Amino acid sequence: MDWEKVTVHIDTTIREAINLLDKSALQIVLVIDEEGKLLGTITDGDIRRGLLSGVNLDSPVKQIYYVSPLTASIDDLPEELHQLMKTKYIKQMPVLDHDGKVVRLELLSRILKEPKIKSPVLLMAGGLGSRLSPLTDNCPKPLLKVGGKPLLETILENFIKDGFEEFYISINYKGEMIEEHFGDGSAWGVSINYLRETSRLGTAGCLSLLPERPEVPFLVMNGDLLTKVNFKKLLEFHNNNHTLNHAPATMCVREYNLQIPYGVVIKEGNRLKGLDEKPVQRFFVNAGIYVFEPEVLDLIPSNEMFDMTHLFDKLFANKQNPVIFQIREYWMDIGQRKDFETAEGEYNKIFLF
């Protein structure tokens, strides 16, 4: 794609701009100044409106070009830019440097040709959310709004951004509200099916409700997490470890620091050997995001209470070797009211494009 071949200056005639549109497949002409800065854009619609208003073909394009096109910055993350274009169905997006000069042209037609990821995603959204009462008295926790958007919607869109398109959502408490909000997923251009828990199945039992066994590794995530982890890279990490080490499962972990608020005594018998003033202990905690090989489903009993801890205990007992993937990106478990308030305060600077 050579976007420079569809650039014109403001004195270029409309006739020449039409010829450029006809010759290229980009469906857009970029109007730039002598320094390469973007002044505006021209599409078929701009030309039609100009001709209808009485402008002739030999008039300069400065009479018809659109002066306020939607643009992106070179600092914008490509995956977020692509998701915006897909969501808003923006066919072309000029990308500008810090001086306003065009550096490339993103095309929706190219983005839509990117291969999708076949691995399905299971989002667990059946919990009561009792620790967030009264916020959850009339609303399931995954639908609580953070940054003006339901938690589960942010999670879904982050997976879509990384190329996933097949989803299952496990529901129980006020599950009909979740079904009503997301429907079959067509509003997001994806497929969503529901696993309806009629009793409490724990954090892993709902996997037994999958209508068919996946043919490829699948991802599982709690429906009350906010994170910027790259799910595509997570899946690649899992696949590499499965190939090299036959790892059937990957657990995402997060570093958790706990500071002792006192001076810790170092002793030998009754002799004082030293003091460690308010030391920090570092742990890795389960981040509530997993990747599993399909055969792991054989370890899960049907329609019984069964937690992730039980599943990993079975893997250890079978001498199967799960691995960990450390999350270094933003991660927040919305478990308590203070977590919800923290996430609300951080959302705009972390998630908004």
Please report the domains of the chain, with CATH numbers, ordered by start residue: 3-111 (3.10.580.10), 121-351 (3.90.550.10)
| The pLDDT value given to residue 9 | 94
Question: Is 278 labeled as catalytic in the residue annotation?
Answer: yes
Q: Catalytic pick from 118, 278, 319, 338?
A: 278
Q: At 68, list the tokens.
A: 């306020």
Angle between helices 44-52 and 14-23 (to 10 degrees): 150
**DSSP β-ladder status, 166-171 and 191-196:** parallel
pLDDT of residue 133: 82
Q: How many CA atoms lie less than 13 Å away from 57 in the CB half-sphere?
A: 5
Residues in a beta bridge with 124: 170, 222
Q: What is the token pair recorded at 149? A: 């958007």
The DSSP 8-state label assigned to residue 13 in this structure reads B
Q: Is the peptide bond before 134 cis (omega within 30 degrees of 0)?
A: yes
Query: Residue 93 is which amino acid?
Result: M
Query: What are the two backbone dihedrals, phi and then psi, of residue 159, each rounded to the nearest 5 degrees?
Result: -70, -40
Report the distance separating Cα 283 and Cα 265, nearest Å: 21
Residues of the chain whose pLDDT is less than 70?
Answer: 1, 113-114, 352-353
Q: How many CB atoms within 10 Å of residue 24?
A: 15
The string of DSSP letters for 96-136 reads: E-TTSBEEEEEEHHHHTTSPPB---EEEEE----GGGTTTT
Residue 255's nearest CA partner among 230, 288, 285 is: 285
Are the beta carbons of 178 and 152 closer than 8 angstroms?
yes
* pLDDT number for residue 347: 84
CA 303 to chain centre: 30
pLDDT tens string 152-176: 999 998 898 888 999 999 999 999 9
